[in-house]
Chain A
Amino acid sequence: DTEVTQTPKHLVMGMTNKKSLKCEQHMGHRAMYWYKQKAKKPPELMFVYSYEKLSINESVPSRFSPECPNSSLLNLHLHALQPEDSALYLCASSQEGAAGGLSTDTQYFGPGTRLTVL
């Protein structure tokens, strides 16, 4: 099974709302990622978790708060977002997360959550 699942598929929220995006994988992968993708643009890395610890934060605003409760789950908590945060949010996972190794691991992507902030 090489599937990464994401819920919900679509989310509409106001600027004062609090919501969460969920990502799940059961491939035994130890690295998990959040990307943001605007229309007609490539994915932009937001966060990387390795062995359930945050290893990379690409200077993302604090209104985005990631959480990795266990090795299979990754959440992205959203609060006080702006309309410009509307985008497709992609989750991905890869097998090996340790630093210093060869970064040839394939990242497996979920279908994404289409977020609209009103």
Chain B
Amino acid sequence: AQSVTQLGSHVSVSEGALVLLRCNYSSSVPPYLFWYVQYPNQGLQLLLKYTSAATLVKGINGFEAEFKKSETSFHLTKPSAHMSDAAEYFCAVSGRRRTAGNKLTFGGGTRVLVKP
């Protein structure tokens, strides 16, 4: 079974400060990892994904994440927070399909608050 754990259900950062969202995974097969963002009253939007091509993955809106197998982690970072980054962030894991469709398992989510 696969799972992800997001450390910290809420993160508060000042505008211009580093954003760091933590995600640790558990998987018996090589994992594929995703970060999604959800703005209020909207659906989820993909920020970036790890598919084993490169351990440092760059995404949209200045976000990036690094896959560390030794630490079973896939933490999300952004050097300088912007007010528009206030949202809910979800880490998710999938693996080789045993059934049709891409079954994602989501972490509990981290709500980011950006202070002016």
Which A positions have Cβ atoms within 8 angstroms of B?
4, 31, 33, 40-43, 45, 48-51, 53, 55-56, 90, 92, 94, 97-112, 114
- Of A45, A49, A101, A104, most B-chain CB atoms within 10 Å: A104
Does A105 contact B43, Cβ atoms closer than 8 Å? no
- A101-B101 Cα distance, complex, nearest whole Å: 9
B45 at the interface (CB under 8 A from A): yes
Q: How many residues of B contact A (CB 8 A)?
A: 28
Q: List 14 A-B contacts (CB under 8 A).
A: A31-B101, A40-B111, A45-B103, A49-B101, A50-B100, A50-B101, A92-B44, A101-B96, A102-B97, A103-B97, A103-B103, A104-B51, A111-B43, A112-B42
- A45-B34 Cα distance, complex, nearest whole Å: 16
Which B positions have Cβ atoms within 8 angstroms of A?
32, 34, 36, 41-46, 49, 51, 90, 94-104, 106-109, 111
By a CB distance below 8 angstroms, the chain B residues around A50 are 100-101
Does A48 contact B103, Cβ atoms closer than 8 Å? yes
